[in-house]
Amino acid sequence: MSILDKHEQLIEESLSKSWDVMVSDPAIARTIIQSLLREDTLSDIRKGECYMHLGWCDLYSGQAQQASQHFLNCIELEFDIKEVSILIKAYNGLGSSYTEQGLFKAAIVAFNQALAYCQSEAQRKQSIPTHLNVLTIYVEIEDLVAAKQTVCEIERLISAFGTSPENTCIEQILKGDICLLESELERAQSFYCEGLAYAEQSESQFATFDAKLGMCRVARLQGNTQIARQILDQLQTDFDLRSAGNSFYYLSIEQALLLCGDKDVDGAIKLLEKTIAQEQGSLKLLPVIKAQEKLSDFYAMQGDYESAFSSLHLVFKSKEQIAGSEAQQQLILYQANENFQRLQQEAKSERKMRLELEELHQRLTLIEKIGRDLSSSLDLSEIVRHFYRSMKHELGVDAVAIGTFNELENSLEFDFAIEFDRYMEPFQIAIDDPMSLNAECFLTQGMLVADAKTFSKAETIGNTEKQMLSGIYIPLNIAQDKIGVLTLQSTVDGIFQDSAVINVLKSVSDYLCIAVRNGLSHAQLKQMKDKLLVEKDQIEIAKSEVEYQALHDGLTSLPNRRMLIDCVKARIFEARLRNENFYLLYLDLNEFKPVNDTYGHSVGDQLLIAFSQRVRNFLRSADLLARIGGDEFVVLVTGQSTDRGISELLARLNHEIEQPFLIDEINLSISASIGVSTYPQDGHSFDRLLHAADIQMYRTKALQG
């Protein structure tokens, strides 16, 4: 074994040792990797693998943001390697780090990238943990439809490839979480128990904690508070933040809920305040955000609405920071300030304050859900469909249309509109149309609310059998960029007169603006990409045509002199290696000039084409026929042969050529003078072999008279 091989083996051993101790002691793993990175001779591929290890070290140490950067460094260095297992682990780690930070959309993108690399059977089995990570996100955000679809895919993969006890325990626990969200407590308990058995078998502390925490929740919801407390006490004894991860914060929430169940709301408030204070108010972890939400509920139960609203304000401010959306920041801050002022003014009425607070909860939850749906796709048709379903379910809307401004046509283009659950045919409205409420809304950049009387005076588009009784028109714009108009209509009278509904729609329109602009940009980029692909194909076709023409004769489509030279040189190289011979035949047509002189060049050209086809069909498929001049042709007899074999070939070839040709109902007869050269006897190069065959051809022509 060479010194380099030994050094590579040591690196491999160090990386393997780091991976083995990663979960139990990330500090030792980090020390090993940092020692490797100090080596000057470390390749980029190995550096990338080291960064991947550092990312997981940071992740297990609770440093998710720093882990993200290490995973990105790994991906940058590893993008072009054939061994994709490192990339799969890096994208998995990146998604996990984003999940820890609450950046679920970015996490889904990273996990999907990891899944895209899982092509082989072994890699598809490796995709099971990735699907489990995705399922964790869907459960966390309570997207039950996506969660159940992911469970089906996981079960299909496990059925096909099998999996480890550790993956099985995570799957069972997440199934329990789904059942818990659907209030199926008995099924949830069954999944948690099975998950706990697998967790203990695989010695996974994280999974053991999650399974027992789920069993605690089931016990609490079933009213078995004593059992719930026993489980909580055991968890607090056996686990800490390092061994249980961020899920450890859920213990405080469960304890607070038990205290609340015992009517000790003050105790629950103090417990959650202490938990949140440990994070110094940063609210970067989703469990801590949920603790803050519960704290808001407990404040409200005590009648402390100002503290309740302040806590709620912090929750949505934290979610806004995690999402990183400017529109969401403005939306949440605007809603929080507006409703806080109104709640202060109405604080004298406890009942009214409670109702307003509940309404705010519902409104912001609705806005967040709609915003999540709108951001789930870049396809404008899908965006409109998601928005229509949400508006129909929440407000009883019967029609939704989005008109985008076409500056060239000076019109609003409604390519995607839905009325009574059906897509409408695309239509266009001129900006200067005096009968159009859409045009008026766009020109004035002001919101319009319509009733049955207003509709009777306006132009009607779509289904006229069912009368619309209420509608609202909202301009869509970002800063000074006028995007278009949002239209909602209903057969129910007065649903857009409620100020709360109008505020929700104004807020949702901010999300919609971003979604529509992104959708338009995506469509334009796709169109440009398709155009570029077409142009690329055309260039490739033209390039192939040019290359073909450069190597073939324009009249007969036979290989030309250039291609003949390349083929003969290759045959010389092959024959030299194998110690073989081969032959070159030089053909010059006799009686061809009189054909041109008598019948014209058109007939002469047809004769050359017919001659080429006849000789090509006569020769073996491995032999090469080339045209090197007006009526001069060369045959490369590629296979090894003998002088006697060549003599027989020439006799048969001459007989074939001398058969009459029928051109434009004219019988034409020609012959050929053929010269032969042999490699290596007559030369070791193309020029020498061709020259020898040429001389032999003239000798033959002289003998033929």
Look at residue 119 and tell me if it is in a domain.
Answer: no
Confidence of residue 348 (pLDDT cuts 50, 70, 90): very low
3-state secondary structure of 430: strand
- List strands edge to edge, sheet with 582-590: 624-627, 632-637, 582-590, 671-679
419 and 322 in a common domain: no
Residue 332: predicted pLDDT: 30
Look at residue 173 and tell me if it is in a domain.
Answer: no
Give me the mean pLDDT over the 220-238 stretch. 86
**Bigger pLDDT: 366 vs 144:** 144
584 and 519 in a common domain: no
Burial of 333 (0-12, 13-18, 19+ CB in 10 A): middle
Residues 506 and 384: their CA atoms lie apart, in Å, by 16
Selection from 14-23, 91-100, 174-183 with the highest mean pLDDT: 174-183
Selection from 227-231, 290-294, 325-329 with the highest mean pLDDT: 227-231
Look at residue 147 and tell me if it is in a domain.
Answer: no
Look at residue 584 and tell me if it is in a domain.
Answer: yes
pLDDT digits (tens, 9 = 90+) for 450-495: 877 776 655 556 555 677 888 888 888 876 778 888 888 888 887 7
Residue 55 has pLDDT above 60, yes or no: yes
Residues 269 and 310: their CA atoms lie apart, in Å, by 14
Please identify, among 526, 547, 581, the residue that sits at the C-terminal boundary of a domain. Answer: 526
pLDDT digits (tens, 9 = 90+) for 152-191: 988 898 888 888 888 889 889 899 989 988 889 899 899 9
Q: Count Cβ atoms below 10 Å from residue 479 Cβ, excluding itself.
A: 6
Longest C-alpha distance within the chain, in Å?
A: 128
577 and 454 in a common domain: no
Residue 289: predicted pLDDT: 78
Residues 49 and 70: their CA atoms lie apart, in Å, by 10
Q: Which domain holds residue 480?
A: 380-526
Look at residue 489 and tell me if it is in a domain.
Answer: yes
341 and 400 in a common domain: no
What are the distances in angstroms from CA 427 to CA 165, 423, 424?
57, 12, 8
Please identify, among 341, 374, 407, the residue that sits at the C-terminal boundary of a domain. Answer: 374
Residue 501: predicted pLDDT: 75
397 and 368 in a common domain: no
397 and 328 in a common domain: no
296 and 274 in a common domain: yes
247 and 367 in a common domain: yes
413 and 370 in a common domain: no
Confidence of residue 373 (pLDDT cuts 50, 70, 90): low
CATH number of the structural domain spanning residue 682:
3.30.70.270
Residue 565: predicted pLDDT: 94
* Cα-Cα end-to-end distance for the chain: 75
CATH number of the structural domain spanning residue 444:
3.30.450.40
Residue 351 has pLDDT above 50, yes or no: no
Which residues neighbour 514 within 8 Å (Cβ) at sequence distance 6 or greater? Answer: 325, 327, 374, 375, 478
3-state secondary structure of 488: strand
What's the domain count of the chain? Answer: 3
pLDDT digits (tens, 9 = 90+) for 627-680: 998 899 999 998 767 888 888 999 999 999 999 999 988 999 899 999 999 999
CATH number of the structural domain spanning residue 307:
1.25.40
What are the distances in angstroms from CA 394 to CA 359, 450, 486, 516?
13, 19, 17, 21
Preceding peptide of 129 cis, ω within 30°? no
699 and 570 in a common domain: yes
Look at residue 309 and tell me if it is in a domain.
Answer: yes
Residue 92 has pLDDT above 60, yes or no: yes
600 and 516 in a common domain: no
Confidence of residue 319 (pLDDT cuts 50, 70, 90): low
Selection from 88-97, 513-522, 556-565 with the highest mean pLDDT: 556-565
Residues 373 and 369: their CA atoms lie apart, in Å, by 6
Look at residue 82 and tell me if it is in a domain.
Answer: no
Question: Average pLDDT over the chain, rounded to whole?
Answer: 80
Confidence of residue 562 (pLDDT cuts 50, 70, 90): very high
Residue 598 has pLDDT above 70, yes or no: yes
522 and 613 in a common domain: no
**Bigger pLDDT: 687 vs 271:** 687
Please identify, among 502, 526, 550, the residue that sits at the C-terminal boundary of a domain. Answer: 526
Place of tokens 């005096």: 434
Confidence of residue 327 (pLDDT cuts 50, 70, 90): very low
Look at residue 86 and tell me if it is in a domain.
Answer: no
Residue 17 has pLDDT above 70, yes or no: yes
Residue 324: predicted pLDDT: 52
| pTM score | 0.45
